[in-house]
Chains A and B, each alone.
Chain A
Amino acid sequence: MSRLEPLIFELSSPGRTGYSLPELDVPAQDLAVLLPGAELREQAPELPEVSEVDVVRHFTRLSQLNHGVDIDFYPLGSCTMKYNPKINEEMANLPGFAHVHPLVPEEGAQGVLRLMYEMQEYLAEIGGMDQITLEPAAGAHGEFAGLAVIRAYLRSIGQGHRNKVIVPDSAHGTNPATAAMNGCVTVEVKSDDRGGVDLEALKAALDDHTCAIMLTNPNTLGLADENIHIIAKMVHEAGGLLYYDGANANGTLGWTRAGDMGFDVIHFNLHKTFSTPHGGGGPGSGPIGVKKRLVPFLPVPTVEFDGSRYYLDYDRPQSIGKLRSFYGNVGVVVKAYTYIREMGAAGLKLVTEDAVLNANYLMAELKKYYLLPFDRYCKHEFVLSGNWQKQRSGVRTLDISKRTLDFGMHPPTNYFPLIVDEAMMIEPTETESKETMDRYIAIMKEIDREATEEPDKVKSAPHTTPVGRLDETAANRRPNLCYLREEE
């Protein structure tokens, strides 16, 4: 029997309803009288007609086709799929946060404004920055904001011509995409044989058009750059600024801070480092922090405190402007705030220690079976290569990952970073026990054995998931993005 679920449109039956709406309690009037000149829909939108129980069962069954952190291990590198504490959800759902209108007078929002202000303070302390804004809705949104702030600052000191953004070849795809959105050109620098930024290449890339360098540290290989202070000095001397992509901040908490490394701007991914859930692709939250000279350029509004009341500050004449409606994904901020208050300073430092310890344990065990291109202690994640298996029997990283699904675990990030052949980027996070990691190690050992002895079993995996491998080529060639349209 197929475990798949029909589309909700296929469950539709004319006249069935799933809503509970109040009766009209004011005198009904003719819509034509109330809405003169407005044209009404001639045809109702083709939404499904289903009952409440139909809806509940449909989406519950769909949920059962998903893998999530609540089900099992999810070592997706650079995504920090740590456990999401349930108290976070409870706090964010309190009516005093969830049901507050964003344009309520400030007097009626003192509690949430205080929480936001304190969160700004905590993140500034954690990142070593002078001021934070919570406005960006996700990491990439933060990158856009951060680079816009840098460009605005450079314009203010007569350096508006600087439009080159340097990114290492190990960078997240959002970095070069952000540079393009900010009207900049990307200059790529290669990594050295220790996995860090190649200083000679960096030197060659720096010139009087350098706007900024965007770095992740630890980088996407999971390695701390041993020359970060030298890089900072070089970029600053060339008149550029340093942008810290906080996707990997889980490898730094309490040990080192972007601000102390010499970075001028940081974005945090609250949905990675600070335990808020990913929601199948959002909502996230990507606050940015900046050093003092960039503070005037932060987006409006910031949350301020005058000693007696908290308020939204729009009076920022040099600001880059607004990034989105209102003040950020406040619901996500509440969850991350709850997490920080639960952990405290010692707890956050322990987060990083355990995340790093877990990653090094997994790395030490897995390098027995898989090629480890950069063999040094890692931070919170590390990158393996499937090249041994590929050479031995043609089993590729994609196959290894698909086979992992058969064992009920989620595979690592595949084919990233781009500088490692057949890359598998593995991030266990601090919330996984040794037992869970040992299960994963046993699975990876078994897949390595299969790759030699039964390669076809791996190449045709997964076998036990609701669906098998998908025809992505057909999906791209003739995209079907909308059901009803295809039925016509």
Chain B
Amino acid sequence: MAAIGVSAIEQLFADIPEATRLGRDLDLPAPMAESELRSYIGGLAAQNWNANDYTCYLGGGVYDHHIPSVVGTILSRGEFYTAYTPYQPEVSQGTLQAIYEYQTMIAALTGMDVANASMYDGSSATAEAILLAMATNRREHVVFSRGVGHDTREVCRTYASDRGVQFSEAPLTADGTTDLEKLAELTTDETTCVIAQYPNFFGVVEPLAEMAKIAHDKGALFVVNANPMALGLLKPPGEYGADVVVGDGQPFGMAMGYGGPHFGYFACLEKFQRRMAGRLSGMTKDCRDQRAFVLTLATREQHIRREKATSNICTNSALCALGGAVYMSLLGKHGVKKVAELCVQKAHYAQAKIAALPGWEPAFSGTFLHEFCFKAPVEPEVLQKALVAKKILGPLDVGQFYPEHKGVVMFAVTEKRTKAEIDALVDALEEVSK
């Protein structure tokens, strides 16, 4: 204080107008030491039903996949997690190169030209895709498949609420895929983009080729929100003519974390790259003629373009995207397919066994991957309660999000589920529905 020339700390706060000063202590609980924190917060954690103690069949956008040990090891390195956005590339090559690798992997997985450094989550990435479409074709009408998850559709409506955007929703047919006739009717010369989910919220694989054609025939962009796990096995949206592919990266190495943080991925065709939102890491050279990486095309961004920016996004989910890159590196080109195959095999085993139970009727007849729906013979809530008693979480009550599917429940089966666990689930369902 002597160096500054004050004798009391209050002097440094003299510029805060008297009327706006707090003048009392904040009303907060007394401080705790580390040992007390561990025990108190540990106690709060212990109250939650977690996937280590329960067998989890809940899905609907977040899944209980295996997380390789290496992911946590890398993400806990202080050099990565205590760094800021890489504004000084000379001391940020670790983040920048990892993000460049991540962008490359996402582009390969989705079959697109380029990808950005990540967004908050799959829903907000979908909303940003709408903004890209609007900036591209200057139209203000969006057509959703109703197979796009309720939360994604709601987030998109929120993002576009002050922009005067109109939304339409194409219903599903009895097989659980989008009604193509209705989709074609709703898509007009005013439509900025058509949005599909792949597989859709109900786990059913959508006819992307037909949907892309409907969008493109009217000059609209085709946006696909895809589960990255599915893309290890299924033909990628890029090969169906998608213009933008987005999704939530949680299945690729992210803890479920009661919903976040995860990362949203965003990939598109090269012709749209200057309209993309978010950070981009690009390869260049340094003054010593070495290969190096730098944030690029910053003229799209808020800190340069201010009100003319493509989005206001600043902080994204860089560390989570790094986790995704580590996951994709470990799994590699064949591992991502293997995970998807394990999920498919186990899910279909479970689905067939449940379908054989009296009173259990599949809700949709379409092709599904690792999530599937049934009309349950008991109230979903009663069912969930009974299963929790057996340390089983799920299935999801679909009716809470889709009133037209009241009484429908959805199971998600990942590679973590064993035959013994699935058999126990089926036994429990049989007992509950007697």
Q: Once bound together, how far apart are the Cα atoms of A260 and B151, in whole Å? A: 35
Which residues of chain B (103-148) have a CB below 8 Å from chain A? 103-105, 107-109, 113-115, 117-118, 120-124, 131
Known: A224-B15, A475-B296, A483-B101. 8 other contacts (CB 8 A): A18-B70, A39-B234, A63-B77, A93-B255, A95-B53, A283-B120, A330-B260, A467-B89
- Known interface pairs A322-B155, A480-B282; A100-B307 also in contact (CB < 8 Å): no
Contact residues in B for A256 (Cβ distance below 8 Å): 16, 20-22
Q: Once bound together, how far apart are the Cα atoms of A2 and B286, in whole Å? A: 13
Which residues of chain A (268-312) have a CB below 8 Å from chain B? 269, 271, 277-285, 299
Say if the beta carbon of A199 comes within 8 Å of chain B. no
Category for how many chain B residues contact A: 35 or more
A399-413 vs B, Cβ < 8 Å mask (1 yes, 0 no): 001100100001101
Q: Are B64 and A69 in contact (CB under 8 A)?
A: no
Which residues of chain A (96-124) have a CB below 8 Å from chain B? 96-105, 108-112, 114-115, 122
The total number of A-B Cβ pairs within 8 Å is 677
Q: Once bound together, how far apart are the Cα atoms of A110 and B73, in whole Å? A: 29
Q: Once bound together, how far apart are the Cα atoms of A441 and B88, in whole Å? A: 20
Say if the beta carbon of A257 comes within 8 Å of chain B. yes
Q: Are B50 and A95 in contact (CB under 8 A)?
A: yes
Q: Are B124 and A25 in contact (CB under 8 A)?
A: no
> Could you list some 17 contacts between A and B, CB below 8 A?
A5-B97, A18-B330, A22-B415, A40-B233, A81-B84, A104-B58, A255-B22, A260-B20, A321-B161, A322-B123, A360-B12, A364-B5, A410-B91, A466-B93, A468-B288, A483-B101, A484-B108
Q: Are A2 and B290 in contact (CB under 8 A)?
A: yes
Say if the beta carbon of B48 comes within 8 Å of chain A. yes
Q: Are A7 and B44 in contact (CB under 8 A)?
A: no
Which residues of chain A (23-72) have a CB below 8 Å from chain B? 24-29, 31, 34-42, 44-50, 52, 55-56, 58-60, 62-71
Contact residues in B for A71 (Cβ distance below 8 Å): 78-79, 82
Contact residues in A for B320 (Cβ distance below 8 Å): 279, 282-283
Q: Are A35 and B31 in contact (CB under 8 A)?
A: no
Q: Once bound together, how far apart are the Cα atoms of A8 and B17, in whole Å? A: 56
Say if the beta carbon of A176 comes within 8 Å of chain B. yes
Which residues of chain A (432-488) have a CB below 8 Å from chain B? 460, 462, 465-472, 474-476, 479-486
Contact residues in A for B333 (Cβ distance below 8 Å): 44-49
Write the nearest CB–CB distance from B20 to chain A, whole angstroms. Answer: 5
Q: Are B345 and A34 in contact (CB under 8 A)?
A: yes
Name the residue on A nearest B422 (C-beta). A26
Write the nearest CB–CB distance from A477 to chain B, whole angstroms. Answer: 10
Contact residues in A for B292 (Cβ distance below 8 Å): 4, 467, 470
Say if the beta carbon of B434 comes within 8 Å of chain A. no
Q: Once bound together, how far apart are the Cα atoms of A58 and B326, in whole Å? A: 10
Q: Are B91 and A19 in contact (CB under 8 A)?
A: no
Q: Which of B157, B279, B296 contacts A476 (CB 8 A)?
A: B296
Binds B, one of A202-210, A340-348, A383-391: A340-348
Contact residues in A for B297 (Cβ distance below 8 Å): 476, 479
User: Which 3 A-B pairs give the minimum distances between C-beta atoms?
Assistant: A326-B259, A96-B45, A279-B319
Q: Are A103 and B38 in contact (CB under 8 A)?
A: no
Say if the beta carbon of A137 comes within 8 Å of chain B. yes
Contact residues in A for B375 (Cβ distance below 8 Å): none
Write the nearest CB–CB distance from B101 to chain A, whole angstroms. Answer: 5
Q: Are A65 and B315 in contact (CB under 8 A)?
A: no
B255-275 vs A, Cβ < 8 Å mask (1 yes, 0 no): 111111101000000000100
Which residues of chain B (308-359) have a CB below 8 Å from chain A? 308-309, 311-320, 322, 325-326, 328-339, 341-342, 344-346, 348-349
Contact residues in B for A342 (Cβ distance below 8 Å): 31-34, 37
- Counting chain B CB atoms within 10 Å of each CB, the highest count among A31, A253, A467 belongs to A467
Write the nearest CB–CB distance from B329 to chain A, whole angstroms. Answer: 5
Q: Are B101 and A8 in contact (CB under 8 A)?
A: yes
Write the nearest CB–CB distance from B260 to chain A, whole angstroms. Answer: 4
Say if the beta carbon of A226 comes within 8 Å of chain B. yes
Write the nearest CB–CB distance from B25 to chain A, whole angstroms. Answer: 5
Name the residue on A nearest B124 (C-beta). A324
Contact residues in A for B56 (Cβ distance below 8 Å): 101
Write the nearest CB–CB distance from B236 to chain A, whole angstroms. Answer: 7
A325-363 vs B, Cβ < 8 Å mask (1 yes, 0 no): 111111110100110111111111100010011001100
- Counting chain B CB atoms within 10 Å of each CB, the highest count among A24, A271, A322 belongs to A322
Contact residues in B for A370 (Cβ distance below 8 Å): none
Say if the beta carbon of A369 comes within 8 Å of chain B. no
Q: Once bound together, how far apart are the Cα atoms of A426 and B371, in whole Å? A: 51
Contact residues in B for A84 (Cβ distance below 8 Å): 81-82
Say if the beta carbon of B403 comes within 8 Å of chain A. no
Q: Are A66 and B256 in contact (CB under 8 A)?
A: no
Q: Are B302 and A140 in contact (CB under 8 A)?
A: yes
Q: Once bound together, how far apart are the Cα atoms of A25 and B9, in whole Å? A: 68
Say if the beta carbon of B396 comes within 8 Å of chain A. yes
Name the residue on B nearest A253 (C-beta). B26
Q: Are B114 and A109 in contact (CB under 8 A)?
A: no
Say if the beta carbon of A201 comes within 8 Å of chain B. no
Name the residue on B nearest A34 (C-beta). B348
Q: Are B90 and A467 in contact (CB under 8 A)?
A: yes
Contact residues in A for B97 (Cβ distance below 8 Å): 5, 7, 62, 65
Say if the beta carbon of A396 comes within 8 Å of chain B. no
Which residues of chain B (61-111) have a CB below 8 Å from chain A? 61-62, 64, 66, 68, 70, 72-74, 76-95, 97-101, 103-105, 107-109
Q: Which of B38, B259, B349, B418 contacts A327 (CB 8 A)?
A: B259
Q: Which of B17, B123, B205, B304 contacts A38 (CB 8 A)?
A: B205
Q: Which of B68, B122, B369, B396 contacts A325 (CB 8 A)?
A: B122
Name the residue on B nearest A39 (C-beta). B235
Q: Are A255 and B16 in contact (CB under 8 A)?
A: yes
Q: Which of A39, A103, A112, A483 contacts B58 (CB 8 A)?
A: A103
Contact residues in A for B41 (Cβ distance below 8 Å): 91, 94, 115, 334, 337-338, 341
Q: Which of B15, B49, B101, B286 contacts A100 (CB 8 A)?
A: B49
Write the nearest CB–CB distance from B45 to chain A, whole angstroms. Answer: 3
Contact residues in B for A262 (Cβ distance below 8 Å): 20
Say if the beta carbon of B362 comes within 8 Å of chain A. no
Q: Are A100 and B88 in contact (CB under 8 A)?
A: no
Say if the beta carbon of A143 comes within 8 Å of chain B. yes
Q: Are B47 and A111 in contact (CB under 8 A)?
A: yes
Say if the beta carbon of A212 comes within 8 Å of chain B. no
Contact residues in B for A198 (Cβ distance below 8 Å): none
Q: Are A472 and B259 in contact (CB under 8 A)?
A: no
Q: Once bound together, how far apart are the Cα atoms of A178 and B383, in whole Å? A: 45
Say if the beta carbon of B305 comes within 8 Å of chain A. yes
- Known interface pairs A341-B40, A470-B285; A47-B331 also in contact (CB < 8 Å): yes
Say if the beta carbon of A371 comes within 8 Å of chain B. no
Q: Are A26 and B346 in contact (CB under 8 A)?
A: yes
Q: Are A148 and B94 in contact (CB under 8 A)?
A: no
Q: Which of A38, A353, A411 contacts B234 (CB 8 A)?
A: A38
Q: Which of B73, B84, B159, B205 contacts A280 (CB 8 A)?
A: B84
